[in-house]
Amino acid sequence: MDTVKIQDLAPIEITAYPSNSPVSRLPEIQGTIVNAGKKNEVIRPAATNADLSVNSSRQIFGRVPGISIWENDGSGLQVGIASRGLSPNRSWEFNMRQNGYDMSADIFGYPEAYFTPPTEAVERIEIVRGAGGLQYGPQFGGVVNYVIRRGAVDRKIAFETAQTAGSFGLFNSYNALGGTVGKVSYYTYFHQRSADGWRENSQYRTQTGYASLQYRPNSRWIISGDFTRMNYVSQQPGGLTDEQFDRDPQQSSRGRNWMGIPWNIGSVKAEYETEEGVRVQVTAFGLLAERNSVGFVSGINVEDAIIDTLDVYAARQVDRDWYASYGAEARALLPWNLFNKKQHLSFGVRYYHSDVDRRQRGAGSRGSDYDLSLSTPDWGREFVYTTRNVSAFAEQVFNPVKNLLIIPGVRLETISNTASGRLSMNNGELTPLSSDRQIVLGALAAEYHIGTTEIYGNYSMGYRPVTYAELTPSGTTDIIDPDLQDASGYNIDLGYRGQLSDRLAFDVSAYVLNYDNRIGTILRDGVNFRTNIGTSETRGIELFGEYNMMPKKLERLGQVNIWASLSWIEARYVSWNDPVIDPGTANDRVGKRVENAPAYIHRAGVSYSKEGLMVSLQYNMVGKAFNDALNTLEPNAGATNGLIPAYEIWDLNVSVPVNKQITLRGGVNNLLDESYFTRRAGGYPGPGIMPGNGRTFYFTVAGQF
């Protein structure tokens, strides 16, 4: 396997797929990272012909089999994705990264992703499924890495812009400058988006700024840094009951609920490659951010009414989080020879620290705007959380014979979580909680090349640390199991991928995901007891294929690509630690389907392209899912439990070049105006049913100069 000089590490070129396909695979070795033997995809958002103005996840990730999506609203402010029957809640089962470093508040204690970069700024999205755990850390889902664009290498200054208008007051503006001056390249963008929203009471506004610099003092060194500042304020329309959804999914009974998210992340990176091909990369990164909400948070079947005697609304609840985290990671790739064949050892160490200051249940204002002020100085609950992590990993790529790669690996994690604070004004201090553990993960992957195709497979141990929410009782009488354990398990993949001609690309695979020590709450002696409730196992098949069906003799007329991304998911509980949930009632969950895991997720599409013109039609078909481990069919009064029905959606997108600089884009999302929902929320941004958007339109004028 040939090495690549640092100076040649440019954005990945699509060579193994039809020429206008937006999806490809990662190279076997990329810098200091080993991808060989692992299920992975690379998406180029600019080539998807999707609605990038609102980060349309179902269109952008459409060619990635098995990606489930929570569509809470149409803003695209928070992308909630998962795979293999895991929960899409703010993508918390994935390790979410930007430019290779963490962008979540706390990857162990609070891994929810509140920040998503605008996809107009994204060069590519790299996805490595469960076996990515050795290279990147925990999360059963693997890693999703947003790689931001870099400045043009052939010009001192280049300008790009995209201005979008759409339904329900949508206005999206993206503007960027980039270029290369001598040994320095730069890229900076400013993005803003606002809309009234498809539903009542769902207006939002967001602004994001980004700047990066890259310095190449010589052919061996690259020194770079970047900084991102994002701030959004979003009105939360709340959930709906099933009756309300059936009558009018656009309605809202919450006009006073808001969320605000200021987010700051940045990194500094140094890369070096020796003449012998040894590569070293050191990255330091940090985050300062907040999560703020104010609103009326009772069940959706409780009216947010004016108090008649005062002719004013009741006080709203204010919840605020402050996040501060930092870390450093050093990685290296060492090539060496064995039996006259090149072998590669990838290894590294990492340190991570995070602090979270959480204050909840403050008595807020009685108004309707975004106001975080308190009517009294005291918070109902106050907590301080910390996380410390030291880890080390190593993966060896053996090439014993021609076409065969064998990749064993190991990762050591040392994690410490602490929680302290006050549960209520009357209950005094929370007994300090802490969790310290050392975890060893092992993996084995292999890859065998057959012409332009390859067979790949892997086994990888995984785990999910106990989160802050699981360490902290939701009520003053709740009890946390003192022996609460991290979730653990494994991923297994076996697949066949590649191309059978210059027109057909494919990836066919099967997997098993074992998720042991799942954490939940059971009723014991009349008290909520949080403990490890059982084990689930997910088995599935994922298929992807893309074919250029235009005959060669007619290629002058353009290119027609058809593609399909199909997945079947069998996710069930295989054991349950305590089947007695309610007093006197035996609720055996063994054999029940796992929550938020539809039996199938199928997407397919067709696109026509010629000299920059592209017309794309995408079909989405998602099976029904359950919201709880009992697989409850009939909804409760607050609509927090019950069936999530199957749905089908069509999306149409068109891109037309005016000249070399100007392109016009437009489309219709949810072409047939399907009424559907993907989530029943138990709290924010609900509670209740969170409808997906109905039919919307957009029109974009984009330019590059």
Cα 359 to Cα 382: distance, rounded to the nearest angstrom: 5
Q: What is the pLDDT of residue 429?
A: 67
Choose the weakest-confidence range: 1-5, 93-97, 413-417, 443-447: 1-5
For residue 276, pLDDT over 60 is answered with yes
Biggest CA-to-CA distance, the chain:
88
Confidence grade of residue 473 (pLDDT, cut at 50, 70, 90) = low
Closest CA to 36 of 524, 415, 456: 456
Closest to 689 measured CA to CA, from 697, 700, 698, 681: 681
Which domains does the chain carry?
6-704 (2.40.170.20)
Contact assessment for residue 196 and residue 169, using Cβ atoms and an 8 Å cutoff: yes
84-139 pLDDT, tens digit per residue, is: 999 998 898 999 999 999 999 998 888 989 999 999 999 999 999 877 667 888 77
Q: What is the per-residue pLDDT for 19?
A: 58
pLDDT tens digits for range 492-524: 999 999 998 888 999 999 999 999 988 776 666
Peptide bond into 685 cis (omega under 30): yes
d(Cα 374, Cα 498) in Å, to the nearest integer?
59
Instruction: Tell me: cis bond preceding 687? Omega within 30 of 0 counts.
Output: yes
Using 50, 70 and 90 to split pLDDT, how confident is the model at 682? Answer: confident
2 pLDDT above the threshold of 60? no
Segment 11-30 mean pLDDT: 70
The CA distance from 513 to 508, in Å, is 17
The reported pLDDT for the residue numbered 521 is: 67
Q: How far apart are CA 106 and CA 112, in angstroms?
A: 8
Which residues are CB-neighbours of 377 under 8 A, at least 6 positions away?
A: none
**Given this model, what pLDDT does residue 10 score?**
34
Question: What's the rounded Cα separation, in Å, for the pair 382 and 423?
Answer: 7
Q: Which of the pair, 311 or 212, is modelled with greater confidence?
A: 212
Least confident of 163-177, 202-216, 510-524, 604-618: 510-524
Q: Which class for 428: exposed (0-12), middle (13-18), buried (19 or more C-beta within 10 A)?
A: exposed
CA-to-CA distance for 417 and 356, rounded, in angstroms? 11
Question: Which pLDDT value is given to residue 433?
Answer: 72
Mean pLDDT of all residues in 482-492: 87
pTM above 0.85, yes or no: yes
Q: What pLDDT shows up at residue 334?
A: 96
The mean pLDDT value for 139-153 works out to 92
Which one, of 458, 455, 459, 460, lies nearest residue 495 by Cα?
455
CB burial of residue 589 (10 Å; 0-12, 13-18, 19+): buried
Share of the chain above pLDDT 90, in %: 69
